[in-house]
Each structure stands twice: as structure tokens, then as C-alpha cells.
């Protein structure tokens, strides 16, 4: 499939550059928008991949600097670059090494600029056996995607989880929701099962959370249906759904495809809010290799 614009975020991970090579071959874009976070802690790690990216793309490359500590400025950077380059175009979003915030900013700007948007996501062969990210920052709602608050209504926090339990814990602590729904990956991988068990044990003990569900993070259609089914249920045998009775905040800490699922639900129910919680530190050995690819179309 030919596309006009391919969008990616620069990373030190092996799957970034290997995925970029695959995507260039498959989509043959006229232009590649490469967003680059100004994070001094990872700048040196990215240099080899950056050099290879420049050699691979030549004059097709459009570099866009974005600021880790300035999300309010990034909003206008995304707004400007999409308006100048993507209006009415066929766009492919390589979500592999994007932050969830970047994914949502890209998709929002695709929507308002009338783009035909597709996404692709490459898994790694494996993740680090040690920690992946840590030292979470303060969670924030996304501008223009922060929902419509009901005065006096309780808060429901819905999270798709991954390996970072510290961020999940911080998220719940900061938002103090009355109710939390936690969606765990339905993986047969031993590490994932152990992580899900630790997640349940922590949240039951610390926050008395009981609403745990298993979902397929890479199957965005099935995940969409499952999450919506749970949100459309009524609390304690009532007649109104959670969508009617609660202020709902979404957060994705699982596979990047789960962020796309949550965005698709936000498109249908813009009264819900999308939230992002950053990490201040990443493991250089975050992942190894490149694995399977998952792709789909966004229906605005």
C-alpha cells in the first residue's frame, strides 16, 4: 500500500530502525515525519539509529523536535506540522516506539486534517528481563481529549496494563478514582502471567480493586468490544451505565495497540478523557530484536 506520509518517533531500540526499513519498503512514502524528543538521558543511545535514518531517507526526511518537559508547546508543534504536511493525505503511523501521548496527538491531528490514517506496530523479540521504565512523572489529561466532566459524578479510571506497575500505582494514587477497571493481557507468556498476578496482588491489597479483565492487546476490534461492554454495564444492578454515571479517564500502559483501542473508544464517546503518565527513566536494554507486526485503519 502506497502512502503519502509515514510518521515515526526516533528511538534507540533495534525494532525502530528495522521496522522503519520494513515500512519504507512496504509503504514507499513520499515523506517521513520523524519526531525527536529532546531527552538528554537517551540522546546518545539514539545516535546510531539517527544516522542510519538520515542515510536511509535522504531528502524524504522531515525532522521535528519535541520537548519532554513542555507538553503544552508540543501541542502547537504537532498542530503546525500536521497542517503543513498531512492535510488530506494518506498517512501511516508507526506507533512502535511512540509514547502513548504522541500516538494520540498524531491521531487527533490526522482527524482534524482529514487524513486517511493507518497504523503499524512492531513487537520486539523480547523485553528486558529487568525493569523497563521507572520513576513516573505526574499524570496529565490530553488537551482537546480530556472529556466532558459531569459535576459531582464519581471518577472511573480504566487502564490497559503492561510491565510498569510503578506507573500504574502512581496513576491510581494521583487520580484517586472511586472505581478502577484494570485490563490485563491474556498472554500465555510466563512473564506476563507472573506480572498480571503481581499486579492483581498489589492493587487488591493497596486499593481494594476487584474489577480485573483479560483482553487481547493486539486485537483492537476485540478489545474495543470488550472494554465497551464493561463500560456499558450498570453498577450494582442499576439501570444507567458507567458511561452515564461516571467521569471516565482512560490510560494505556500496555502494548501501543491498546492506546489505539482507547482512542477509537474516545472517538465514539468523546466525553471520556485520555490521560498520559510519563516515565523519567528508561532502560537502555528496553527490548531486543523485532517480532511480529500488527496493523489497521483508523475510522474517524
CA dihedral 260, 264, 265, 268 (to 10 degrees): 170
CA distance 182 to 252: 10
Same fold, 5-127+287-298 and 133-282: yes
CA distance 170 to 7: 30
Residue 238 CB partners (closer than 8 Å, separation 6+):
245
Over residues 205-223, the pLDDT tens digits come to 999 999 999 999 999 999 9
* CA separation, residue 192 to residues 17, 196, 197, 244, 299 (Å): 26, 6, 9, 33, 31
Over residues 38-49, the pLDDT tens digits come to 998 899 999 999
Read off φ and ψ for residue 183, nearest 5 degrees: -105, 115
Q: What is the mean pLDDT of residues 18-34?
A: 97
DSSP string, 19-62: HHHHHHHHH--SEEEEEEE--TTTHHHHHHHHHHHHHHHGGGEE
Residue found under cell 482527524: 111
Question: Is the predicted pLDDT of residue 66 greater than 90, yes or no?
Answer: yes
* Percent of the chain surpassing pLDDT 70: 99
CA distance 127 to 190: 13
CA distance 222 to 219: 6
What is the maximal distance between C-alpha atoms in the chain?
61
Task: State the fold for domain 133-282.
Answer: Rossmann fold (3.40.50)
Task: Indicate the CATH number of 5-127+287-298 among 3.40.50.11700, 3.30.1740.10, 3.30.565.40, 3.40.50.12160.
Answer: 3.40.50.11700
User: What residue segments make up the domains of the chain, in order of their start?
Assistant: 5-127+287-298, 133-282
At 187, the pLDDT band (50, 70, 90 cuts) reads confident
Q: Are 29 and 47 in contact (CB under 8 A)?
A: no
Over residues 114-140, the pLDDT tens digits come to 999 999 999 998 876 677 788 889 999
Q: 251-281: string of b/e by CB count within 10 Å (b at 16+)?
A: bbbbbbbbbbbbbbbbeeeeebbbbbbbbee
At 190, the pLDDT band (50, 70, 90 cuts) reads confident
Residue 81 CB partners (closer than 8 Å, separation 6+):
33, 62, 64
Over residues 267-294, the pLDDT tens digits come to 999 999 999 999 988 888 878 899 999 9
CB atoms within 10 A of CB 221: 11
φ/ψ bin of 237: left (φ > 0), alpha (ψ from -120 to 50), beta (otherwise): left
Radius of gyration of the chain (CA): 19
CB atoms within 10 A of CB 152: 6
Amino acid at each position: 500500500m502506497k502512502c503519502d506520509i509515514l510518521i515515526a518517533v526516533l528511538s534507540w531500540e533495534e525494532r525502530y530502525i528495522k521496522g522503519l526499513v520494513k515500512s519504507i519498503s512496504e509503504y514507499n512514502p513520499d515523506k517521513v515525519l520523524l519526531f525527536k524528543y529532546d531527552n538528554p538521558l537517551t540522546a546518545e543511545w539514539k545516535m546510531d539509529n539517527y544516522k542510519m535514518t538520515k542515510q536511509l531517507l535522504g531528502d524524504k526526511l522531515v525532522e521535528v523536535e519535541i520537548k519532554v518537559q513542555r507538553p503544552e508547546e508540543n501541542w502547537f508543534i504537532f498542530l503546525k506540522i500536521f497542517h503543513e504536511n498531512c492535510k488530506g493525505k494518506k498517512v501511516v503511523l508507526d506507533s512502535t516506539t511512540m509514547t502513548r501521548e504522541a500516538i494520540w496527538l498524531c491521531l487527533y491531528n490526522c482527524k482534524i486534517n482529514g487524513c486517511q490514517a493507518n497504523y503499524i506496530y512492531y513487537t520486539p523479540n523480547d523485553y528486558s528481563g529487568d525493569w523497563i521504565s521507572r520513576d513516573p512523572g505526574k499524570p496529565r489529561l490530553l488537551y482537546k481529549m480530556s472529556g466532558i466532566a459531569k459535576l459531582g459524578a464519581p471518577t472511573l479510571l480504566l487502564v490497559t496494563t503492561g510491565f510498569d506497575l510503578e506507573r500504574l500505582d502512581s496513576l491510581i494514587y494521583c487520580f484517586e478514582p472511586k472505581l478502577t477497571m484494570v485490563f490485563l493481557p491474556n498472554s500465555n507468556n510466563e512473564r506476563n502471567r507472573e506480572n498480571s498476578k503481581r499486579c492483581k496482588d498489589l492493587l487488591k491489597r493497596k486499593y481494594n480493586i476487584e474489577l480485573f479483565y483479560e483482553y487481547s492487546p493486539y486485537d483492537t476490534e476485540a478489545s474495543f468490544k470488550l472494554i465497551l461492554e464493561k463500560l456499558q454495564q450498570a453498577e450494582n444492578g442499576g439501570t444507567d451505565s458507567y458511561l452515564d454515571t461516571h467521569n471516565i479517564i482512560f490510560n494505556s500502559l500496555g502494548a501501543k495497540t491498546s492506546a489505539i483501542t482507547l482512542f477509537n473508544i474516545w472517538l465514539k464517546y468523546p466525553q471520556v478523557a485520555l490521560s498520559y503518565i510519563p516515565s523519567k527513566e528508561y532502560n537502555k536494554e528496553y527490548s531486543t530484536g523485532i517480532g511480529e507486526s500488527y496493523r489497521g485503519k483508523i475510522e474517524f
